[in-house]
Structure 1
């Protein structure tokens, strides 16, 4: 047989195959509609689900709703036959907090609080007859507020932020507070007291957040870190700060002026009795990612997995509010979760009709995003399918609204991360949009240095940090972001469905493409060398 005619025949076959595939993509995507979106979101964002806060009843209800949907449409439970990936998570809070100065008690969660990350599971107690005041806590070659001071075993008092003034030669190296605290920990300080004027302006929401405690993901790294010694950090307002400095017959304003005028540190030992203690209360939390798996149809490609994610948790009930206290999270991220459910159903129908994707697809709604991307972090540390076999992650977080920039035309979606690691993924995603959907793709936030840091603020990042190409689909923030007003009445359901269809068509191309997207860039965006 002549090679020329064989090549023509192969090209013709490939052409007809692509036409059929495109028709199938369109056919099975027809279930991604505004009506189906409303069907799911009206449940997930209802008051009955109480804002879906991680570790609470509303989140458990949402997880069960999603699992039931995955089971109903025929997806497999990939976690030993189950749909729930259970997460080791605890809630850590302070059952009792005490700070006394010169025998007089300060009021916990009014005058001071404890930095949660500085607390071990056992809590702490310290007593001291004096403290070491070290100004701004700066240590450089030319300006060292710890010079001649022995930090070990001392309670150290520093300002949270600021600089010594123009006369001080700090060499342009005013370290951030975390770095200062790390240094003091390395020097075996007994404790650190930080004067932070922002404490004076804390409202009910800030104090409520501190009172509620924090969720901790018990990864291997965290478990090991919890066994290490920690230096307690007490954060105080200006009133307590002035009380402490009164032991040296000065105050915040005067000592800052002295440092600024002289350009020299004013570090000194202050004789004043100080004691503090914290009793830590820890309770296990029920939390789970919900996974639905669609096996690929091609024996050569089915071990490769595309992961589609959205977080189903939100921030729950805010009892400090009057009136409506439920943060329903219709847009954040009920809309993204709804998108995942509809996309999963479209692919499941294609599979049942004999047109399933060549590669496997994992549909995963994660928990704990609002607590620090915890659910996706857990999956990235405990993957059900090898990360090496994960070809890409398409993450949907808020696709039901719009923002002020697009108030006159909501036919848009922000895409973030698309070209960060893979030129292939960027090309495939943009071509899918041009071929099927025609939404304006706004790349305003598509960089690592944007001050909003959106690239680091949703679940795709826990894939990207492992070198897996990602696209994050997002409609921007709005006045109801993290407020009770984020309700289904504000959702643009036609655009929610249209954005979900963009993710679906992109997924279709990725799951059926001849090759997985090549990772041709490093984490810093520089080209990979062969």
Structure 2
């Protein structure tokens, strides 16, 4: 009779557990290859131009995410908006006009500038050629010459030598420090306060070839576009030109680099020359205010709704270059963005059918991750919901490919990074959810604090972890198309991407429904 009574108690419990598992699986199965592929094909399309920070494609991506949140019925939690504008500033060196002797030159093609000065106009009727620009007791090319406020040209390599290649400066068989230290020449010359420096060397042509007319968009950082507190590190612009271009300028003074070297090696006498060419330019650092938003959608919980689970993924990538080159970022991080949307849709449907989570879930498409985890840093410094009530952050960043490590072997895997750094329970839940539902290899390699990639510190979950929130980064690994224009949607393994999305769904379901929030019982590096 006792055994019979025990069975009568056990059978309903098992049946109830089975029903719960069936319900959970029902909503996980709303995440499909078809829906994931549709989202990712759109987000990585030419129309979205690589979703660059401060670019049209980035704005389109944010609008797309917000529209999807609205269609799922998620609450707009930022004073009735889905957008949390992130206070960003772009600090970029810009050349708006550059003219030599009536000819317009293009930055990145004909020259490249190194400088950190405020935007300003430059004008001169001549350029002073100062040879090697060497200032040494035995050979001083700037002695007695006033270059303050003037434009100068120097050969930023080599030094005068005799026929046996001995240095005229040191009188030794090896070259002096002036020959090897291009930085020293510039540094010493700037002390004389010229207005601008033209610098030529054999390396410039190669650098310009590598640039292929492309220049970076400068630095993006948190800030309000205020230029007043910027620390200027290089107030005098250094305009790098090739030897061929320098010779065109020197031809105006009936000389050339080779002719100068030949004469100097014979005479060992510093010489300077005035090159009568008009120069006019407008260039310098401009600080532009950006407001790329984090995109937030809230699914309110039931009896534990004050506690928040964050599901995050950055939507930005490298955008479009001035020459039209697009970085689609299908894996990085179109795949993670799609994962956030798919989980949001599945959980929203569960709530509509009366099976919503006990805890609230905040879905965030994060801005400016590629610029230094800036969107997540801004959110954790300006949280919409108290960080003390945020019980976990599950971050999806690149979940759509097969990495180099697994390419020739098991494709049924996911990297889980940081699951036990703060809470042993998060790792336990991850492993249990995988055993019950997805049966993948969970690779914890990157949890090793000695791993040279240090990936735990390189995605948005880390800013939540810094605030004591158990956080994990789900990742499919690096591949040769990482941060190249070849990160395209046709290379995504959608069945595996969906399997990874489902694992994170099941982990979230468990955290959202359990009685207690995750224990903070670890403090691992």
> TM-score w.r.t. structure 2 length?
0.69
C-alpha spacing 1:227/1:204, structure 2 compared with 1 (3 Å): same
Bigger mean CA deviation after superposition, 81-90 or 495-504:
81-90
Is residue 2:317 matched to residue 1:314? yes
Map of 1:518 onto structure 2:
519
Is residue 2:217 matched to residue 1:218? no
Which string of whole-angstrom CA distances, capped at 9 and with x for unpartnered residues, describes residues 150-175 of structure 1? xxxxxxxxx9xxxxxxxxxxxxxxxx
Map of 1:250 onto structure 2:
none
Shift of residue 45, structure 1, vs aligned partner? 1.4
C-alpha spacing 1:200/1:493, structure 2 compared with 1 (3 Å): same
Structure 1 Cα separation of the partners of residues 319 and 415 of structure 2: 26
Which string of whole-angstrom CA distances, capped at 9 and with x for unpartnered residues, describes residues 463-492 of structure 1? 122222211111112222222222221111
Alignment of 1:156-305 (within 5 A): 202=207, 206=211, 210=215, 212-219=216-223, 226=229, 230=233, 232=235, 279-298=284-303, 301-305=304-308
Map of 1:90 onto structure 2:
89
Structure 1 Cα separation of the partners of residues 201 and 23 of structure 2: 60
Structure 1 Cα separation of the partners of residues 204 and 421 of structure 2: 38
Shift of residue 326, structure 1, vs aligned partner? 2.5
Q: Is the 1:294–1:360 contact (alpha carbons within 8 Å) kept by the matching residues of 2?
A: yes
Q: Is the 2:107–2:213 contact (alpha carbons within 8 Å) kept by the matching residues of 1?
A: no
Map of 2:507 onto structure 1:
506
Structure 1 Cα separation of the partners of residues 236 and 430 of structure 2: 47
Structure 1 Cα separation of the partners of residues 201 and 348 of structure 2: 54
Shift of residue 278, structure 1, vs aligned partner? 5.6
Structure 2 Cα separation of the partners of residues 8 and 226 of structure 1: 74
Structure 2 Cα separation of the partners of residues 31 and 20 of structure 1: 17
Map of 2:354 onto structure 1:
354
Structure 2 Cα separation of the partners of residues 333 and 512 of structure 1: 28
Structure 2 Cα separation of the partners of residues 197 and 456 of structure 1: 39
C-alpha spacing 1:305/1:200, structure 2 compared with 1 (3 Å): farther
Q: List runs of 5+ in structure 2 lacking aligned partners.
A: 1-5, 99-104, 123-127, 136-155, 157-182, 184-192, 247-271, 273-280
Q: Is the 2:95–2:282 contact (alpha carbons within 8 Å) kept by the matching residues of 1?
A: no
Shift of residue 18, structure 1, vs aligned partner? 4.6
Map of 1:54 onto structure 2:
53
DSSP-derived class of the 1:291 partner = strand
Alignment of 1:2-13 (within 5 A): none
Q: Is the 1:95–1:281 contact (alpha carbons within 8 Å) kept by the matching residues of 2?
A: no
Shift of residue 234, structure 1, vs aligned partner? 7.1
Structure 2 Cα separation of the partners of residues 196 and 20 of structure 1: 74
Q: Which has the larger radius of gyration?
A: 2
Q: Is the 1:112–1:234 contact (alpha carbons within 8 Å) kept by the matching residues of 2?
A: no
Structure 1 Cα separation of the partners of residues 300 and 210 of structure 2: 45
Is residue 2:27 matched to residue 1:28? yes
DSSP-derived class of the 1:420 partner = coil
C-alpha spacing 1:111/1:358, structure 2 compared with 1 (3 Å): same
Q: Is the 2:316–2:367 contact (alpha carbons within 8 Å) kept by the matching residues of 1?
A: yes
What is the RMSD of the two structures over their aligned residues, measured on CA atoms? Answer: 5.0
Map of 1:186 onto structure 2:
none
Which string of whole-angstrom CA distances, capped at 9 and with x for unpartnered residues, describes residues 111-140 of structure 1? 986677x666x6899xxx999999xxxxxx
Q: Is the 1:67–1:83 contact (alpha carbons within 8 Å) kept by the matching residues of 2?
A: yes
> TM-score w.r.t. structure 1 length?
0.69
DSSP-derived class of the 1:369 partner = coil
Map of 1:373 onto structure 2:
373
Shift of residue 436, structure 1, vs aligned partner? 1.3
Map of 1:440 onto structure 2:
441
Is residue 2:479 matched to residue 1:478? yes
Q: List runs of 5+ in structure 1 lacking aligned partners.
A: 1-6, 99-105, 135-158, 160-176, 178-188, 244-270
DSSP-derived class of the 2:452 partner = coil
Map of 2:329 onto structure 1:
329
DSSP-derived class of the 1:384 partner = coil
Map of 2:428 onto structure 1:
427
Is residue 2:495 matched to residue 1:494? yes
Structure 1 Cα separation of the partners of residues 12 and 236 of structure 2: 68
DSSP-derived class of the 1:445 partner = helix
Structure 2 Cα separation of the partners of residues 517 and 195 of structure 1: 61
Which string of whole-angstrom CA distances, capped at 9 and with x for unpartnered residues, describes residues 287-308 of structure 1? 111111011111xx21111101
Structure 1 Cα separation of the partners of residues 117 and 522 of structure 2: 39
DSSP-derived class of the 1:338 partner = helix
Structure 1 Cα separation of the partners of residues 45 and 467 of structure 2: 35
Structure 2 Cα separation of the partners of residues 392 and 502 of structure 1: 16
Bigger mean CA deviation after superposition, 492-501 or 431-440:
431-440
Map of 1:73 onto structure 2:
72
Structure 2 Cα separation of the partners of residues 385 and 133 of structure 1: 60
Bigger mean CA deviation after superposition, 33-42 or 367-376:
367-376
DSSP-derived class of the 1:202 partner = helix
Map of 1:142 onto structure 2:
none
